Amino acid sequence: MTAEPLGHATGPIDRPCTVGAIRRALPPELRDRFQTALDDADAADLSGLVAQWVAVAQTAADAGADTAAGAVRSGTAATYEIGDIFPALAGRL
């Protein structure tokens, strides 16, 4: 397994906290899929479903997400051995 270190957010992260806020944060082409997922979900699954769509909305709003995803898919993203990451993280804590 490998991982790439990410920079820390420089300020608060604005996460949509309601179904309406998630819907507004999604690009228009995903709003119908979100509504369908809500309509078809069991009540017990709603919390997890909403959490997944929060992540989708945040990713859709991140201008660098497409670039990062393209690099991962093409195999050009920088990677590091996991054994090298833990000591580096320990030095930051």
Beta bridge partners of 80: 3
Q: Which of 62, 36, 66, 65 is nearest to 49 (CA)?
A: 36
Average pLDDT, integer, range 35-49: 95
**H or E, element range at 53:** helix 46-61
Report the C-alpha dihedral over residues 56, 59, 60, 64, rounded to 10 degrees. -160
How far apart (Å, rounded) are the C-alpha atoms in residues 70 and 17?
A: 28
Checking if the pLDDT of 84 tops 60, the result is yes
Which of the four pLDDT bands, split at 50, 70 and 90, describes residue 15? Answer: confident
pTM metric for this prediction:
0.60
Please say whether the beta carbons of 8 and 91 come within 8 A: no
Average pLDDT, integer, range 46-67: 86
Mean pLDDT value across the chain = 83
